[in-house]
């Protein structure tokens, strides 16, 4: 099924989509593709805010801000997210999770990809509207959706059909 269709389905049934992804077997190529696509979308989502900040404070040019965001999201964050995926699996093992490191990584990477459209919205609000109630509401929305989705996907990856859907 198309990835965009899976993203839309995942907002309603995150565990079903995660189950389908994991049933395709261990696909490290797909995991890194999801991660890099999500990181690229988040990087693009930073552009409006970087442009706003460069306009308000020209001492740091837009190119430098975009370069820093590129370094952060395309080179550093993938490593951090791999470590976070491993850490989440170790935490799940403490509460008797029976999944794999791959499943925990895929749960995190898929969640980031699913939430990436909301992160684009967050970047647009940060860049075009600026600080305020609107941006705070979008931050809250993104945070709640991310943690809800990650929890559901991680539960599916670690406990499978044992946890209630």
Predicted confidence at residue 164, as pLDDT, reads 44
pLDDT digits (tens, 9 = 90+) for 59-100: 999 999 999 999 999 999 999 999 999 999 999 999 998 999
Quickly state the pLDDT bin for 4 (edges 50, 70, 90). very high
Question: CB 21: neighbour CB atoms within 10 A?
Answer: 23
pLDDT band at 165 (very low <50, low <70, confident <90, very high): very low
The predicted model gives 95-120 an average pLDDT of 96
Q: Using 50, 70 and 90 to split pLDDT, how confident is the model at 1?
A: low
Which tens digits make up the pLDDT trace of 20-44? 999 999 999 999 999 999 999 999 9
Short-list 2, 6, 4, 25, CA closest to 14: 6
pLDDT score, position 26? 93
Confidence category of residue 162, pLDDT binned at 50, 70, 90: low
Mean pLDDT to the nearest integer, 142-156:
97
Q: What is the pTM of this model?
A: 0.92
* pLDDT at residue 31, as a whole number: 96
What length does the chain have? 165
Q: What are the tens digits of pLDDT across the range 118-137?
A: 999 999 999 999 999 999 99
Q: Is residue 161 pLDDT above 70, yes or no? A: no
Q: Domain coordinates of the chain in residue numbers?
A: 28-160
Give the pLDDT confidence score for residue 2 in this predicted structure.
Answer: 84
Long-range pairs of 38-41 with CB within 8 A, sequence gap ≥ 24: 38/109, 38/112, 38/113, 38/116, 39/73, 39/74, 39/77, 39/78, 39/81, 39/112, 40/73, 40/74, 41/113, 41/116, 41/117, 41/119, 41/120
Cβ atoms of residues 84 and 154 within 8 Å: no
Other residues' Cβ atoms within 10 Å of the Cβ of residue 161: 9
């Amino acid at each position: 099924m198309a990835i965009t269709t899976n993203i839309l389905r995942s907002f309603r049934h995150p565990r079903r989509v995660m189950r389908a992804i994991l049933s395709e077997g261990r696909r490290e190529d797909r995991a890194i593709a999801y991660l890099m696509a999500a990181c690229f979308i988040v990087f693009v989502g930073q552009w409006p805010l970087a442009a706003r900040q460069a306009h308000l404070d020209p001492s740091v040019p837009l190119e430098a801000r975009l370069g820093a965001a590129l370094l952060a999201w395309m080179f550093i964050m993938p490593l951090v997210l791999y470590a976070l995926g491993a850490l989440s699996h170790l935490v799940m093992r403490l509460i008797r999770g029976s999944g794999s490191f791959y499943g925990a990584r895929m749960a995190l990477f898929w969640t980031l990809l699913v939430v990436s459209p909301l992160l684009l919205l967050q970047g647009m609000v940060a860049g075009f509207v600026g600080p305020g109630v609107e941006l705070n509401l979008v931050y809250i929305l993104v945070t709640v959706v991310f943690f809800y989705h990650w929890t559901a996907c991680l539960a599916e990856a670690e406990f499978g059909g044992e946890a209630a859907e």
